[in-house]
Amino acid sequence: MTTYTAPVDDMMFLYEKLRNNKFYNELDKYKDVSPDLVKNILEEAAKINQNLILPLAKAGDEQPAILENGVVRTPPGYKEAYKKYIEDGWTSLSCDPKYGGQGMPKTVSAFFDEMLSSASLSFKLYSELSIGAYNCINHHATDDVKERYLPKMVEGKWSGTMCLTEPVCGTDLGLLKTKAIEQNDGTYKLSGQKIFITSGDQDLTENIIHLVIARSADSPAGTKGISLFLVPKFVVNEDGSLGPRNGISTGSIESKMGIKGSATCVLNFDEAVGYMIGPKNKGLNSMFTMMNLERIVVGIQGLGISEIAYQNSLIYSKERKQGKSNKNNSTNGSADFIIEHADIRKSLLNMKSIIEGERALCFWLSQQTEVSLNHDNEKIKQEASDYVSLMTPVVKAFFTDMGSEITSEAMQIFGGYGYTKDQGIEQLYRDNRITPIYEGTNSVQAIDLVFRKLVNKNGDIIDRYINMVKKDLATEDDKIKPFAKILNIYLEKLITFTSWIKEKIQNSKDDANAASNDYLKVLGLVAVGYSWFKVLQVSFDDYENNKNFYEDKIQTANFFFKRVIPRIDSHCSSAMSGSKYIMDYKFN
């Protein structure tokens, strides 16, 4: 079984030393969230994740969720753990105190999300979509609906789901067939089938609040005719008590490669009572509130799984002896720990430098998200929102793709013991593999980035981002200059690639489409590099106060700048070869 120690020190380093966003620090809401308070929260979070939730990962993999007489049963231990989890208030961490939440910023809840993803992604998914649904209802529903549903969701007694996918529509939601017929009392009756619904049913909560997209009878075809509906498993009475069972049944649950403890359900809606949320035919806009925040959280899933894969690889490489290191001249046939081999060390540093850089980037993005939601100056809010919209597909796709790379690398370090089941490494690989697919596939994230996020109605977001990085790199500090020089070289490559892709968007969409994944990687590498640059600034400035910690940071960054960021070269030259030879090829 895998072991896990939550990286509280690294998280506290970010919280104490990189909370330097002026606009974030202006938010009154979070003035009382002191480092001491955050440290207490993270230490408690570490305990529950390491002790209670980590063992559920293996349990859920070996005894997956099942459907029994129409009811989903979660794996052994999940019910007891969920009870404790909600009693301790973990579902409510970032929710509004008005509805019983603890009002913590995303800078803190993102750390918790990472720990929970490391401990057990399957268990995490039972509450993850509840928070997404909470955010969506909080943004778009009437006060009456919010008061009726949110307190129970924040408490964790009711959960939430996101019902988009249907047999004929995944990426292209405009094809959906689920119908909503308006009733005389203003409610709707929904009929249709949704598939792949995470936590569509379970035995952990008293009620499930489904957020469903559907088309009402008089709405146009395509995405412009989609509305959003709240459809509870049990109808909720005026006084908040539970009424009759609604017309929703679980057809089956999927048998999957990974996250087997999570119930992925086929849901049949048969004249189920629903309430429209937000304006008619604008359902996708409302749903995007949920999906955008969710995409960042899915990126964090990739980060969390990468962290536990790295930790276990490091331990193993210090325990497993094979072959002689290049320093070992003995002739007695003794072998060295595999951590002595340059190739293994390179793999470990690859993992570590990507993970720590991603965590720093995620911390920056969490601050931007809070500014975009809460600042009282509209212009500042909008600018932050633009950065969030630029970086959301990057975090979702880059972190989860790196999760695939890192879990695969971990398996490689474990050799045959990584491929067999005992050590739990192959499970990390399988569990992570869904993250590049759900919440919009990574290719679709890349296309979204290239075609919609670089330039929008507020102007040229990517140029603004590039200029911000460029300004910071103009440093006279001798220690950090070599890093600034390398990052500058790759920033120039990003600039060239950006001009190329902007031109192709106008004149050759296939070229742009075929280059999208590479472009996302290049921007991801620059963004992680820039996050490392910020970490380095603190590491050099504050060096004497925590030498060992900062030396470790500097050396890890050194690896990233020498061995990881140069991947940009190959992404650029491959992508800029165009797409004619791809589109002209005739598949047999």
* Residues identified as active-site: 439
Near ligand FAD by CB under 6 A: residue from 34, 171, 420, 496: 171
Binding segment for ligand FAD (CB under 6 A), chosen from 46-54, 194-202, 236-244, 352-360, is: 194-202
Residue number with CB closer to ligand FAD (131 or 197): 197
Q: Work out whether 163 is an interface residue with ligand FAD (CB under 6 A).
A: yes
Would strands 66-68 and 71-73 be described as parallel, antiparallel, or unpaired? antiparallel
Q: Work out whether 211 is an interface residue with ligand FAD (CB under 6 A).
A: no
Residue number with CB closer to ligand FAD (120 or 353): 120
Beta strands in 381-462 (DSSP E): 455-456, 459-460
Tokens linked to 106: 């995303």
Residue number with CB closer to ligand FAD (55 or 170): 170
Binding segment for ligand FAD (CB under 6 A), chosen from 7-15, 34-42, 111-119, 433-441, is: 433-441
Residue number with CB closer to ligand FAD (196 or 490): 196
CB 337 within 8 A of CB 317: yes
Residue of 320, 356, 310 whose CA lies nearest to 340: 320
Q: Work out whether 197 is an interface residue with ligand FAD (CB under 6 A).
A: yes
CB-count burial class (<10 Å; 0-12, 13-18, 19+) for 40: exposed
> What is the C-alpha separation between 550 and 33, in angstroms, rounded?
25
b/e code 292-304 from CB counts within 10 Å (16+ = b): bbbbbbbbbbbbb
Q: Work out whether 252 is an interface residue with ligand FAD (CB under 6 A).
A: no
Residue number with CB closer to ligand FAD (293 or 349): 293
Tokens linked to 172: 């292209």
Tokens linked to 301: 């899933």
CB of 431 to ligand FAD, least distance (A): 10
CB of 139 to ligand FAD, least distance (A): 18
Residue number with CB closer to ligand FAD (372 or 435): 435
The torsion defined by the Cα of 129, 253, 207 and 100, in degrees rounded to 10, comes to: -20
CB of 344 to ligand FAD, least distance (A): 33
Near ligand FAD by CB under 6 A: residue from 14, 115, 214, 447: 447
Q: Work out whether 512 is an interface residue with ligand FAD (CB under 6 A).
A: no
Binding segment for ligand FAD (CB under 6 A), chosen from 67-75, 390-398, 440-448, 462-470, is: 440-448
Q: Work out whether 434 is an interface residue with ligand FAD (CB under 6 A).
A: yes
Binding segment for ligand FAD (CB under 6 A), chosen from 278-286, 434-442, 468-476, 549-557, is: 434-442
Binding segment for ligand FAD (CB under 6 A), chosen from 73-81, 160-168, 355-363, 576-584, is: 160-168
Near ligand FAD by CB under 6 A: residue from 441, 488, 558, 579: 441
Residue number with CB closer to ligand FAD (328 or 574): 574
Q: Work out whether 501 is an interface residue with ligand FAD (CB under 6 A).
A: no
Range 263-302, binding ligand FAD (CB under 6 A): 264
> What is the C-alpha separation between 183 and 196, in angstroms, rounded?
28
Residue number with CB closer to ligand FAD (119 or 265): 265
CB 361 within 8 A of CB 531: yes
Q: Work out whether 555 is an interface residue with ligand FAD (CB under 6 A).
A: no
Binding segment for ligand FAD (CB under 6 A), chosen from 16-24, 219-227, 436-444, 531-539, is: 436-444
CB of 445 to ligand FAD, least distance (A): 9
DSSP structure class, residue 376: S
Cβ count near 334 (within 10 Å): 9
CB of 175 to ligand FAD, least distance (A): 10
Q: Work out whether 438 is an interface residue with ligand FAD (CB under 6 A).
A: yes
CB of 447 to ligand FAD, least distance (A): 6
In the chain, the largest separation of any two C-alpha atoms, in whole Å, equals 89
Q: What angle do CA 198, 204, 205 make, to 5 degrees?
A: 90
Q: Work out whether 410 is an interface residue with ligand FAD (CB under 6 A).
A: no
Tell me phi and psi for residue 359, to 5 degrees: -60, -40
Tell me if residue 240 falls in helix, strand or coil: coil
Which amino acid, residue 28?
A: D
Determine the straight-line distance between the first and last CA of the chain, rounded to whole angstroms. 46
CB 529 within 8 A of CB 357: yes
> What is the C-alpha separation between 13 and 329, in angstroms, rounded?
41
Q: Work out whether 170 is an interface residue with ligand FAD (CB under 6 A).
A: yes
CB 428 within 8 A of CB 257: no
- Residue closest to ligand FAD (Cβ): 170
> What is the C-alpha separation between 59 and 120, in angstroms, rounded?
10
> What is the C-alpha separation between 424 and 1, in angstroms, rounded?
5
Q: Work out whether 247 is an interface residue with ligand FAD (CB under 6 A).
A: no
Judged by CB under 6 A, the number of residues near ligand FAD is: 20
Distances, alpha carbon 491 to alpha carbons 238, 469, 500, in Å: 57, 8, 14
Cβ count near 69 (within 10 Å): 5
CB of 181 to ligand FAD, least distance (A): 21
Binding segment for ligand FAD (CB under 6 A), chosen from 38-46, 161-169, 237-245, 473-481, is: 161-169
Residue number with CB closer to ligand FAD (265 or 535): 265
DSSP structure class, residue 219: S
> What is the C-alpha separation between 205 and 89, in angstroms, rounded?
15
Near ligand FAD by CB under 6 A: residue from 74, 165, 227, 301: 165
Q: Work out whether 228 is an interface residue with ligand FAD (CB under 6 A).
A: no
Q: Work out whether 136 is an interface residue with ligand FAD (CB under 6 A).
A: no
Tell me if residue 328 falls in helix, strand or coil: coil
Containing 230, the helix (H) or strand (E) segment is: strand 227-232
CB of 427 to ligand FAD, least distance (A): 15
Residue ranges in contact with ligand FAD by CB under 6 A: 162-165, 170-171, 196-198, 256, 264, 434, 437-441, 443-444, 447
